Amino acid sequence: MVPGDEDRSLIPATLSSIVSDPDSDPDPDTAADGEATAHGDEESAVTLGAGWGDRRTVAKTALAFLVAVVLVYLLGAVVGWDRTVSRLRTAQLEWVAAACVSTLLCLVAWGKTWHVVLRAIGVTVPFRKLIVTFFAATFANYVTPMGQAGGEPFIAYVLARDTEATFEQSLASVVTADLVRLLPFFTAGGLGLGYLLFTAQLAGPIERFAVLLAALAVGLPAIAVVGWRFRERLRDLVVRALAPVARRTDRLSLESVRDRITRLYGSLEVIADSPRVVVTAIAFAYVGWVLFAIPLYFAGLALGTPVSALLVCFLVPASVIAGSTPLPGGLAAIEGTLVALLTALTALATADALAVVAIYRLASYWLVIVVGGIAALWVIRRV
């Protein structure tokens, strides 16, 4: 894919730099290959910028945001905007500020998780530089529908250009950090689920959420273990799946894909063989998750309607699951889910619940959009 293509999007633009990078050529020692690598890097940089900035991508993102904002407005119209805004005016700003600070510290802690993993594979990068890249990647996740597909290749690509790390090392570190951050998600979700089972009679929709959370807690780790156990077969499956595409374009080399996946596995094995690094990364992941969840608790305090900390342990994972929609950052889905759960599991009126959710999303989503957007602009200009 080149900058002149008419049908471009964030994910293809990013992935094109992954699968067609000339430095995977089996004979890199010649001058011609060196020139090809340099040319490929330059083209990849242009393509990445095009993928993030072309009009088609911007239009899709803007449309998705418009749909989400309309849905949020309709939710408020059903609940009652006048009552909700009236409650928001009574919010204690110190708790709102605490929620915002907690979100920023959460990203710092999760960025440290990534930093620790990178050091395990021998990649040295200043944390102050890395954290800006992490904020930019979080922005990409939050504005891209089904966000992880957009942010993770972007952050790995930027790191590979910014440091001596290869793309495979960068992607391995990102994947590992993501998997590590899932542990507190399931732990807290299980804790919150246990609290509900012992203190409340679950209604139909809430019971379905609880079952889904339990299924994910068991299923996703099982899939990860099986995928790693049969990683060679998984690599072959990916290569076979891409074969029809490779026959139609010279932009995709199956040997390059196979080689890159093999190098990715090698980087993951290095990380897995460093238990102290894994434990340290897990510790930062748990700290980050607490800081990620506690803004909802602070939002309740801001309005004088405290939400149980154990209930928060259920609500936040449930909202993350609900946010797995085609809309950016789970907009509308997360708001609607949290309002429904808060009104069903607490004594809050719907207007109070929406006000709590509004403060929570201000701190956990919109603040990140602003700060992460600034970081993304700086990173794109840098690379």
Rounded to a whole number, what is the distance in angstroms from the first to the last CA of the chain?
A: 19
Is 281 exposed, middle or buried, given 0-12, 13-18 or 19+ CB atoms closer than 10 A? buried
Rounded to whole angstroms, the Cα distance separating 148 from 197 reads 31
Domains of the chain by residue range: 81-382
Query: At 297, which amino acid appears?
Result: Y
Res 185: pLDDT: 82
Rounded to whole angstroms, the Cα distance separating 228 from 225 reads 5
Which tokens sit at 297?
């608790």
Rounded to whole angstroms, the Cα distance separating 159 from 133 reads 8
Low-confidence ranges of the chain (pLDDT < 70): 1-54, 57, 145-152, 199-207, 209-210, 213-214, 216-218, 220-221, 251-252, 260, 263-264, 266-268, 270-272, 383
Res 329: pLDDT: 82
CB half-sphere exposure, 370, CA atoms < 13 A: 9
- What one-character DSSP code corresponds to residue 24? G
What confidence tens digit (pLDDT) does each residue in 32-75 have? 444 444 344 434 443 444 444 567 767 777 888 888 889 888 98
- What one-character DSSP code corresponds to residue 163? S
Dihedral through CA 320, CA 325, CA 328, CA 331, nearest 10?
A: -60
- What one-character DSSP code corresponds to residue 330? G
Contacting residues for 162 by C-beta, under 8 A, at least 6 apart: 125, 129, 133, 382, 383
Concatenating the DSSP letter of every residue in 70-87 gives: HHHHHHHHHH-HHHHHHH
Closest to 154 in 3D by CA, of 305, 357, 14: 14
The pTM score is 0.73
Query: At 275, which amino acid appears?
Result: P
Res 4: pLDDT: 40
Res 236: pLDDT: 81
Closest to 360 in 3D by CA, of 342, 378, 347: 342
Concatenating the DSSP letter of every residue in 313-376 gives: HHHHHHHHHHT-SSSGGGTTHHHHHHHHHHHHHSS--HHHHHHHHHHHHIIIIIHHHHHHHHHH
What confidence tens digit (pLDDT) does each residue in 187-245 have? 887 777 777 777 666 666 666 766 776 676 667 667 777 877 787 888 888 888 888 87
Rounded to whole angstroms, the Cα distance separating 260 from 250 reads 17
Res 356: pLDDT: 96
Q: Report the interhelical angle of 204-229 vs 309-322 (nearest 10°).
A: 70
Which residues of 3-53 form beta strands (DSSP E)? none
Contacting residues for 211 by C-beta, under 8 A, at least 6 apart: none
Res 88: pLDDT: 94
Query: At 231, which amino acid appears?
Result: R
